[in-house]
Structure 1
Amino acid sequence: MAATPEDDAVNSADPAPALRKHHGNGPLFFIVGTIFAVAVTIGWGMSVMNYSGLSGDVFHQVVTVSAPSSSEARISFEVNSRGGAECLLRALDAQMVEVGTARVEVEGGNRMVQTDVETVRQAATVEVASCREQGSQD
């Protein structure tokens, strides 16, 4: 029985005839794929570079925390904002129950803040719950 062209393509050592049969000889498929990959890469890069996070343009970092007495806790933190920020602080006990809160207004720029939070009982930690731009309604 004579071999068909499909059998010749399958049995040959060169897989190119079978690929040519399905994809053609032109580079159009690869050019379109390359253009698509470049466009997706550029779009992804622009979105990552422009991402500012969910909290806007205010960033904070806790430096130190202490609880010298059962009625107060102390926190030092750094805030970086353009036009000033309002930060909400929470003092928590060992069971992570809130035992005190405080609001602190911070001037614009990169600022180091140290403040005390009044507590109803001994605090184990103090956290910066949020920092938002001053005047923000969110």
Structure 2
Amino acid sequence: MNSADSAPALRKRHGNGPVFFVIATVFAVLCAVGWGYSVMNYSGLGGGVYHQVVSYSVPSADEAAITYEVNSRGGADCLITALDDQHVEVGQTRSSVQAGNRMVSTTVDTVRQASTVEVASCREQGSQD
């Protein structure tokens, strides 16, 4: 049986017109548009606040410094933590950031030598989450 013999069987099963092809194409386009819409409107689990660590340093055993970038619509409250080499928290501080795209530098007082400083979270000012 060659491919010429199987063509009539396909026409019998799916009809002579391109209905099956049109329906499949419409379905694919709708899926692509829906996926694109959901990706464009995704704001993440952290709300409308974006933060990224630029650099950090540990100048002494009782202090750590961090510089980070925050982008928010209405200002943000950020929690900064310092961790030792065993990933135990050795200090923390809160920082308020004005609205817009801002570079922020702050220091954290520590109880012993820190090895890492990170932005634990940033959220919109006034939110209760």
Counterpart for residue 65 of structure 1: 56
Q: 31, 44, 68: which is aligned to 2:35?
A: 44
| TM-score after normalising by structure 2 | 0.94
Q: Distance in 2 between matches of 1:74 and 1:13?
A: 72
Q: Distance in 1 between matches of 2:69 and 2:22?
A: 50
Counterpart for residue 111 of structure 2: 120
Counterpart for residue 24 of structure 1: 15
1:12 to partner: Cα distance: 4.3
Q: Which runs of 5+ in 1 are unaligned?
A: 1-10
Q: Distance in 2 between matches of 1:107 and 1:37?
A: 44
Change (3 A) 1:13 1:128: closer
1:107 to partner: Cα distance: 0.7
Counterpart for residue 26 of structure 2: 35
Aligned AA for 2:120? A
| TM-score after normalising by structure 1 | 0.88
Q: Distance in 2 between matches of 1:112 and 1:48?
A: 27
Counterpart for residue 92 of structure 1: 83
Instruction: Report the RMSD for the aligned CA atoms in angstroms.
Output: 1.1
Q: Which runs of 4+ in 1 moved over 2 A?
A: none
Q: Percent identity?
A: 67
Change (3 A) 1:117 1:16: same
Q: Distance in 1 between matches of 2:23 and 2:41?
A: 27
Q: Distance in 1 between matches of 2:35 and 2:12?
A: 35
Counterpart for residue 66 of structure 2: 75
Change (3 A) 1:119 1:20: same
Matched length? 128
Q: Which has the larger radius of gyration?
A: 1
